[in-house]
Chains A and B, each alone.
Chain A
Amino acid sequence: MILLYSEGKSVFTFALPALLIRAWTCRNFSVNNNDAKHFLSRKVKSYVSPTSTYTTETKFKNKKQSYWKSVVGLEIHAQITSTSKLFSQAGTEFGVPVNANVSFFDAAIPGTLPMLNRRCVEAGVLTALALSCRVNPVSFFDRKHYFYSDLPAGYQITQHRVPLAQEGVLEFHVFTPGSHHKPYSKKSCIKQLQLEQDSGKSLHDEEACRSLVDLNRAGIPLMELVFEPDLEDGEEAAALVKELMLILQRLGTCSCKMEEGALRVDANVSVHHEGEPLGVRTEVKNIGSVRAVGHAIQYEIHRQVKVLEAGGVIINETRAWDADSKQTVPMRDKEEKQDYRYMPEPNLPPLRVLLNDQPAVPNTYRDHINVQCLRRKLPELPSETRAKLTNKYGISPESAAILVNENVLLQHFYDIMEEKKSRDPKLSTNILIMELLTILNKKKLSLEASPFPSHTLGEIVDLLQSEKINLVTARKILQEIISGNSMSPSEVVEKYEWTQITNPSEIEKVCTAVIEQNPKLVEQFCSGKTKVFNSLVGKAAKITENRANMATVVQVLTAKLRKIQNP
């Protein structure tokens, strides 16, 4: 992303950092857009909707302004879904009592040795394939040394020299609902995918002058995905993470529960002037949600620009995202600039996988993982699903994205279409992403807790499609069912006599009645105040208790009023 800053105003930026932060914190990012005259607010504005700067880019370039280019690269740690740890037989359940899932190896008891978990390698290969990576036939494990109380062995086993897979690519759509920008497609290259173990957790009790260590997480299997620094802003980063989550969940290789630390995103951020070498980067950690990915990176870009514009320098450091104050703060970093003294892990033989199907697998390779076998097991990936939805069902890319983002919605959609092939896919999609989500939202229910089975939703689609009801009635039915009515939508319609009035003569009668009962409105209409037409339509709706086919009402009413105007 390219940010634009006027040279003259940069002084302000630096003079008011505290204010800026406070504004962001208190107003929760929703700064009045009309403030655009002031540099500060423009900057904040670009924070709210970063892509807005794209559109203004050319406009300002001509005015000989200085501008910054920001570069973002992600390192993502994804916990591999597995019942046991990467190198030991200890369990991996989340939320068990402290130090319940700890084997002797996890506690680095002398004499214990690592045993590679086959499932984790398979998950790694599967993920690598889904991300078009080149799987290495032989990869190696290495020891990365540093002292920390939650790292019992004094080193982490990772893949430093040759990782499991390299050179992949992730394509995703950058589209933020609510922003007015056209979705666009973006690719980020994957440098490598490596397997490694997680560390434990330390709790520091400053008062009692002691630290407590929980090793449940020590040795948990992780895939580290290192992306090339080819992103431009936080929004792109957030979109990448969202797409990656969809893929991993589809593969079943990671739960992607960021709140449990199952997916951790670290962002490397730097800014520089176009045509100049990349700036010094900082690493932002402790990002707890997809939204925070965007916010943290955006904040960091602005911070760096601000420092540089004021003549300061960016130091290579690790910063933590503070979700409360919405800023990045320097971290007392356990991995501060230090020499990891990497060394090959001598207790694990090279990790070999079979790349090609071999008709007769030599005995020595009998235990090796067969990459082609796994390739055949790859499920349909989210991008393929989206393409299918738009191509086969004619759904808009935006709607397809929403369906794919919510697995429950997607399942409903498939079920609805499967049950009756004649159902209108677009109508079905609208019911799902507009009506269903709205009513669940109102009741503060999650999709998983939804009381609507697919066939109920399908029936509503049928009622709408056959014009037996209108949209307002559809909403009433949903309301009825969510309030505990166990009847089917058709039964509800029958019971309350909510069938749509489509009979022209009946509508004729309704319209006549509306005109007769509202002479004032009709008079206003005839004297040119056409706005009141909507009120008249509303009266018709009220008379029929929203059962009238409104399109017909509009038609008939228009004709009738015209007659009154021009008798």
Chain B
Amino acid sequence: MLSLSVRQISRKLQDGVIVPSDVCTACLYQAEKLKKLNIFVRLTKEVAEHQAKESDVRYTNGNVRSLLDGIPVAVKDNYCTRNIETTCSSRMLESFKPPYNATVVQKLQDAGAVLLGKCNMDEFAMGSGTVDSIHGPTKNIWQSGEKYTLLRNVGERATSVEQVQGCNSTHGSKMVYQELHHLSSHSNKEGSSSPSEEGDWFIAGGSSGGSAVAVASGAVFAALGSDTGGSTRNPAAYCGVVGLKPSYGLLSRHGLIPLVNSMDVPGILTRTVDDAATLLNILAGHDLLDSTTVQDSFIPLDLSQDIDISRIRIGIPKEYNCPGMSDEVMETWSGVADILERAGAEVVQVSMPHTPSSIACYSVLNQCEVASNMARYDGIEFGLRTAENRSTEELYASTRSQGFNETVRGRILAGNYFLLQRNYPHYFLQALKVRRLIAQDFTHAWSSGIDVLLTPTTLTDAPRYSQFISRDNREQCASQDYCTQPANMAGNN
């Protein structure tokens, strides 16, 4: 049951084969069982059971709210949930209970979804491995040694997993389908025959690693991540689930604790493309509480329409072929392109020349916004406050040095440096110009008749924890985000 798609489980609920409470119990059981993967920061058992019971009644009375009614979902721990701790995996917010629900959380609730728990992440979403968390790292379920119930499904579907990457001019509807044949091939790799070596495992990717593993492991049917430079798509790729980064402005950021306001989007993690579309349709639309959401009314996606693939032009941006990309990813990339071409699509090479500048540009913009966004964590209104009482300045200093990890502190320092009046033109302004060039790469591609860009998400498959942490956070992100980041730069292109 836990391996079904949202649409499939929804059908079973509507047919009365099972009731939401049973699904909820099964999911909670699964979550408990997989505790050692460290998926959840907090299981919201009572909330889930209560919501499931209410959903039971709706199914009995026939006033079902949506396809999601009664279906367990999880939410990354950077979404505000009313009266439920929202930690951003940071000591700074360890005991922070938001007084309100994020818009997307509220929309899930209004749709009848059952909130199973809050998922682990890198502190303040700064990372690409879900390893930098006060709650400890999240482990990938693949090759984790856990009995993996989805295996049946993988067998059925001949190891095919769909992955989605939204790069659309209006609604993120143009999706890239990739078949990743080698997802579970770790055991065949040289020197990595034993997946569960003591103290080592494959990382989940990040920063929405908890959400991705929650979906992959069957603990929930869908989850919310967030995506600033690839934080939803990256763990989706490593965990073999669908990760959708909607266009900027399509989903409300209200209640999503920001990393980089101008690039953050709520991300969707599901097991099928169809499910991703279902969630997108429920979550998208203008929000008065987020002035950057698109005001035009949202036209729901309908994937049931037959797509005439012969009329689709697929672009392969050559700059995405970069140093460090594994042979396996390269083979898969060209393999998928071949499949699409055989199916009748026109596959052409395109150039997006500013792609290599994205990392440097992103790191400036990211750190500047981080420096600004983190200024509010001063121990006064909410969150951690140390016992320091010599002066307000001392209180700030001790609260902030104890509350943030090294990565966060490092970015704050760099960001404030970039924003100094004398540096602003050389860093921030310069980065904005490069950002525009990157965005124009996309505009040019679309205006040259390209409908879809086909790119890898990550340069390799999931690395081992030991291997991953041998490099620092900055290096990790720089290589991990290469293929995903330009889309965030471009925003709604």
Binding site for B on A (CB under 8 A): 104, 107-116, 143, 145, 147, 149, 152-155, 209-211, 213, 339-343, 346-349, 367
Contact = CB atoms under 8 A, between A and B. Distances in A.
Given A111-B98, A111-B255, A112-B254, A339 B421 contact: yes
Contacts of B255: 111-112
Contacts of B369: 343, 346
Given A115-B288, A147-B375, A154-B375, A104 B100 contact: yes
Contacts of A110: 80, 86, 88, 93, 96, 98, 257-258, 376, 382
Contact of B292 (A109, A339, A349): A349
Contact of A113 (B254, B260, B376): B254
Contacts of A347: 261, 290-292
Contact of B372 (A143, A152, A211): A143
Contact of A155 (B289, B372, B381, B424): B372
A211 B392 contact: yes
B60 to A, nearest CB: 35
10 tightest Cβ-Cβ pairs between the two chains A and B: A154-B375, A341-B419, A346-B261, A346-B262, A108-B376, A111-B255, A110-B257, A111-B80, A153-B376, A111-B257
Contact of B420 (A149, A210, A341): A341
Contacts of B258: 110-111
B102 to A, nearest CB: 6
15 contacts: A109-B100, A110-B98, A110-B257, A110-B376, A110-B382, A111-B255, A112-B255, A145-B375, A149-B378, A152-B376, A153-B375, A341-B416, A341-B419, A343-B369, A343-B372
B368 interface: yes
Interface residues of B, number: 46
A348 B428 contact: no
Contacts of A147: 375, 378, 393, 396
A112 B86 CA distance: 14
A363 to B, nearest CB: 9
B57 interface: no
B306 to A, nearest CB: 32
B340 interface: no
A368 to B, nearest CB: 12
Interface string B391-424: 0110010000000000000000000100111001
Given A341-B372, A341-B424, 9 more contacts: A107-B381, A109-B382, A110-B80, A110-B86, A110-B376, A147-B396, A149-B380, A342-B421, A343-B368
Nearest to B395: A149
B419 A145 contact: yes
Contacts of B421: 339-342
A342 B419 contact: yes
B344 interface: no
Interface in B357-373: 368-369, 371-372
B291 A349 contact: yes
A162 B436 CA distance: 20
Contacts of A346: 260-262, 292, 369
B377 to A, nearest CB: 8
A343 B428 contact: yes
B304 interface: no
B352 to A, nearest CB: 24
Contact of A111 (B256, B378, B420): B256
B371 to A, nearest CB: 7
B492 to A, nearest CB: 12
A113 B261 CA distance: 10
A339 B381 CA distance: 24
Contacts of B260: 346
Given A149-B392, A349-B292, A111 B254 contact: yes
Which of B86, B253, B255 gathers the greatest number of chain A CB atoms within 10 Å? B255
Contacts of A109: 80, 98-100, 381-382
Contacts of A104: 99-100
B488 to A, nearest CB: 13
A208 B68 CA distance: 54
Contacts of A343: 368-369, 372, 419, 428
Nearest to B416: A341
A149 B393 CA distance: 9
Contacts of B79: 111
Interface string B211-254: 00000000000000000000000000000000000000000011
A104 B99 CA distance: 8
Contact of A115 (B98, B291, B381, B424): B291
Interface string B422-458: 0010001000000000000000000000000000000
B376 A213 contact: no
B389 interface: yes
B291 A113 contact: yes
Contacts of B375: 145, 147, 153-155
Nearest to B390: A209
Given A155-B372, A155-B375, A211-B392, A113 B253 contact: yes
B44 to A, nearest CB: 18
